[in-house]
Amino acid sequence: MGLTDWKPTFKVRVNGRDMTSVFLPRVSSIMINDTAGIQADTCEIVLTDHLPIAPLEIPPAGAEIEISLGYMFLAQVVGIYIADEVEVSGPPGQMRITAYATAHGKSDGGKGPITEARSRSWPEETSVADMVAKIAADSGFKTAVSDEAGKVVLPHIDQIDESDINVLTRIARDQGLIFKPAGGTLVVCKTGESTAVSGQPLPIIALTPKHVSRWSMRMARRVAYAKVVAAYRDFAQSEPVDVEVEAKPEGVTGVAQIKRLKSIYPSEAAARAAADAEAKRGQRAARTIQMQLPGRADLIAEGRLMLAGFRTGVAGEWLITRVVHTLGSDGWVSAIEAETPSSG
């Protein structure tokens, strides 16, 4: 009998207090959305609120909610989320709590919003590690910056009426990085590094057809490019100068379109880095796979899958871009989206 033959379980802690016994008889469903991109992870909890003589207390916005999922007595923390939206409705009476991995206001644990517009300048040669450390110190978050991502040196950046989350998102896109708030931490790593919130490498998850309920793989030319072109300012010339990066993905034929980035970059190095990042995004997105299987807490966005025993074109290594955990009356199901890892 495997672990997933047991009944799924969960644990809930609110502001550090174990509230599992309160939630257990009332939970209709828990859904966790874990993404590898710039979007903050989300959690949605639906509770029954059908007893007029004992209505649920409406939780305050800003409460920090820690969710663990597992089987029997073994539950693994999948994330920490900050309550932002509460909806009560009926009949039948129910309460829906939506929480995010980033704060949209001050949280009970002291985390500040990184979504508010602000203005400041970041001098040339500021490292990604230094920028993230400064933003985290201002907002009360921890940091998990991989060595490779932290060493990236940035050009001069003016942050004018722009939120911290937006400027980090912009830098991550131009430099081929992953940035996301997760578990009370600002996580930054190179795409495909597969780094956990703790900063440790994520394990590679091996799956065979017997582990999977359903899967589908798709190849698409429309998201891939033959070349990516970016331009930079050369003050010795009157017009911006182009740089080109080859972008054709392996295994997808007939790709001919050329992608031109709209921004004008301050240097050749910055333009080439942005073009290379866009080329690799297109290469990864040209082959994607979706899978559904019994719930597993070790499936994490930006982690890697090693598929064995599947047909040609499906077997091999994949990079997870999104995991949706759904715990409800039908049990616990994990839905995965993954793409081809970058070759270099």
Select from 3.50.50.60, 1.10.110.30, 3.40.50.880, 3.55.50.30 the CATH code of 117-190: 3.55.50.30
Angle between helices 268-285 and 164-175 (to 10 degrees): 80
Fold of 8-100: Phage tail proteins - horseshoe like beta roll fold (2.30.300)
pLDDT for 340 equals: 87
**75 strand-pairing partners:** 70
Q: 196-226 b/e with 16+ CB inside 10 Å = b? A: bbeeeebeebebeeebbeebebeeeeebbbb
Select from 3.30.420.40, 2.40.30.150, 2.40.50.100, 3.90.1200.10 the CATH code of 204-218+287-339: 2.40.30.150
> Token pair for residue 243?
């740089």
DSSP of 236-287: TSSS-EEEEEE-PPTT------EEEEEEEESSHHHHHHHHHHHHHHHHHHTE
Q: What is the spatial distance between Cα 139 and Cα 103, in angstroms, rounded to a whole number? A: 9
Q: What is the spatial distance between Cα 140 and Cα 145, in angstroms, rounded to a whole number? A: 16
From residue 184, alpha-carbon distances to 15, 113, 124, 128 in Å are 12, 12, 29, 19
Q: What is the spatial distance between Cα 218 and Cα 201, in angstroms, rounded to a whole number? A: 28
> Token pair for residue 253?
């034929």
Q: What is the spatial distance between Cα 320 and Cα 318, in angstroms, rounded to a whole number? A: 6
Q: What is the spatial distance between Cα 194 and Cα 301, in angstroms, rounded to a whole number? A: 8
pTM beyond 0.85, yes or no = no
One digit per residue, pLDDT tens: the chain, 344 residues? 444 457 888 999 988 889 888 888 889 999 999 887 666 689 999 999 888 787 787 777 788 899 999 998 788 888 888 888 888 888 888 999 999 887 655 555 556 667 788 899 999 889 999 999 999 888 888 888 888 888 899 888 888 998 888 888 888 888 888 888 776 788 888 877 766 666 667 778 999 999 999 999 998 888 888 999 999 988 878 889 999 999 888 877 777 889 999 989 988 988 999 999 899 888 888 889 999 999 999 898 888 899 999 999 899 999 999 999 999 988 999 999 999 887 65
Question: How many helices and strands in the chain, by DSSP H and E?
Answer: 5, 21
